[in-house]
A and B are shown apart, each in its own frame.
Chain A
Amino acid sequence: MPSPRYWREIPSRYRLEATRCSDCGRVSYPPRPVCPACRSVEAETIELSHEGRVVTSTIVHVPPGDFLMEAPYALAVIETPEGARMMMQVVDCDPASVEAGMAVALEFRLIRKEGTGGILCYGHKAVPAYPIGDEAEAERQAGEMEVAHA
């Protein structure tokens, strides 16, 4: 991806900026000047919650060149509480554990190294969300991961 393109996408990639239509309430991510639902041009810029749920997912076994070292990886459509949907990887867990309805937190991560120059491209990835304070559940899932990777 040429660097000007990457640069202008920083607000949505780094801060999860989206637009909420002032007329119909539709949330668009990344931001759009025209609402895809009602064509209104009135919208406010919002920052999405860094959490959501898996809508649908897959495990990619045959990846594009830039992701060769990562396969197999889970890729999913995530919906945030604001109703925005976005595609991202689900990491820090066994890819086979990712399923519809799973709660996730969205974390700022390195996404890819671009081209021969290896330009670092950032964005968000989803990780399993554990109920705050539920360290037992976090440990149990971490234990399952170790078994899976053993």
Chain B
Amino acid sequence: MREVAIVAAGMTRFGELWDASLRDLFVEAAQQALTAAGADHLDAIYTGNMSAGQFVGQEHLGPLMADHLGMAGVPSVRVESACASGGVALRTAFLEVGSGASDLVLAAGVEKMTDGADVTEVLASASDQETEVYHGATFPGLYAMIARAHMQAHGTTEEDMAWVSVKNHRHGALNEHAQFPREVTVEQVLSSALVSEPLRLLNCSPVSDGAAAVLLCPLDQATQYTDRPVVIRGAAMATDSLALAGRRDISFLDAVALAGARAYEMAGIGPEQVDVAEVHDCFSISEICCIEALGLAAPGEGRSCARTGETALGGRLPVNTSGGLKSKGHPVGATGVAQAVELFEQLSGAGGARQVPGAEFGLAQNMGGTGASSVVHILQAV
């Protein structure tokens, strides 16, 4: 495998972007990346997208996106793994460049969620239709069951979970791309409306429109496009039972742990060497479970990390400096790529007010469904 670098990144603001369509969002993010790199061609395009078919009635995104980017003719395909679609698109692009098949590949992610579809029902289709949705399951409901299992196993409290939202909103308040760039208090989280007990509205990531894109090439060609490339050292994926009922332990995300272990091995580092991480906080309990599965916190100790400030900017290991899915927003297919955009900025020293000083290794963890698929990337500053 060749060494692969990210040489440029772009993303739209995340939010309810009523004047932008699915294709508009993709083009805005992709153009930013191409312009930053001064690139006038592409060898391939991979676009992560969960459900344009259900959200806006549009399938066959590969040629649509290539055409609207002025790149008709280029091989272009949509990649789907529910909310992990973006991360899997990035890994697919990484494999294509690493293999030597292509030299310049765009990994993008896009979702248009606010055009009127029943978002609760569309998102639920990432869980098991026959055994979960049939009985009235929703996504917050499934994560609420994970939360209660975690509370049962480790004594996690609603206040522990609230602190994750508080921390991520503090980070997001510094991010101009964030959907909700403002702080919230523990009291506001704990008094927000119940969605599915014990999860409340401010434990949940929002419904968002948005797109993100990164440009990949072999490391030895990176200086053609930038003087601050970031290397992809690890790119791994894993899967688990789609239904919660089939899991080994409902309070632990096996697919996240497996993808993490594979990525660490590939990168030749351990969790203690990670300087900054973006993890999939679709619900506040998810961040707690993910940092435990990734070894960034010991099992059962993830619950206190946000409250103590360990995972806040300035702490031992800042997690979700972008604001995470909670504050930045969660246009599902774009999220995995947007995590890579944040790490690209952090590791190239362009993190601005959110910069983690001297960050060398960054980890991005993206997952689909209730953690049935997960992809982990480890990036290194050059």
Contacts and interface: CB of A to CB of B under 8 A. Distances in A.
A70 B136 contact: yes
Interface in A16-49: 29-30, 36
A87 B138 contact: no
Contacts of B136: 60, 63-64, 66-67, 70, 73, 75, 89, 111-112
Given A57-B145, A62-B196, A87 B121 contact: no
B251 to A, nearest CB: 8
Given A56-B145, A56-B250, A59-B194, 14 more contacts: A1-B129, A30-B131, A56-B146, A56-B148, A57-B145, A61-B197, A65-B120, A73-B136, A75-B141, A87-B131, A87-B132, A87-B243, A87-B244, A88-B135
B137 interface: yes
5 contacts: A56-B148, A58-B144, A58-B196, A60-B137, A63-B138
Interface string B97-121: 0000000000000000000001011
B250 A65 contact: no
B124 interface: yes
Which of A61, A66, A111 has the most chain B CB within a 10 Å cutoff?
A: A61
A121 interface: yes
Contacts of A112: 134, 136
Chain A interface helix/strand/loop/mixed: strand
B223 interface: no
A9 to B, nearest CB: 6
B244 to A, nearest CB: 6
Contacts of A55: 149, 250
Interface residues of B, number: 36
A59 B148 CA distance: 11
Interface residues of A, number: 34
B135 A58 contact: no
A75 B120 contact: no
Contacts of B250: 55-56, 77
A52 to B, nearest CB: 11
Interface string B201-237: 0000000000000000000000000000000000000
B152 interface: yes
Nearest to A9: B130
A118 B198 CA distance: 32
A100 B244 contact: no
A1 B149 contact: no
Given A36-B241, A60-B196, A75 B118 contact: no
Contact of A87 (B135, B193, B241): B135
A86 B245 contact: yes
A138 B274 CA distance: 55
B134 A111 contact: yes
A106 interface: no
B193 to A, nearest CB: 8
Contact of A59 (B137, B197, B244, B245): B197
Given A58-B197, A61-B195, A67-B136, A77 B121 contact: no
Given A56-B149, A64-B124, A75 B137 contact: yes
Interface string A119-147: 00101000000000000000000000000
A121 B148 contact: no
Closest 3 CB pairs of A and B: A58-B144, A85-B245, A59-B197
A76 interface: yes
Contacts of B130: 9, 30
Contacts of B133: 64
Which of A1, A58, A65 has the most chain B CB within a 10 Å cutoff?
A: A58
Interface in B69-127: 118, 120-121, 124
A87 B243 CA distance: 9
Contacts of A62: 120, 138, 140, 195-196
A67 B131 CA distance: 15
A87 to B, nearest CB: 5
A77 B141 CA distance: 11
B57 interface: no
A9 B250 CA distance: 25
A64 B243 contact: no
A65 B152 CA distance: 30
Contacts of A60: 136-138, 140-141, 144, 196
A87 B246 contact: no
Contacts of A77: 145, 244-245, 250
Nearest to B133: A64
A87 B137 contact: yes
Interface string A87-129: 1110000000000100000000001100000000101000000
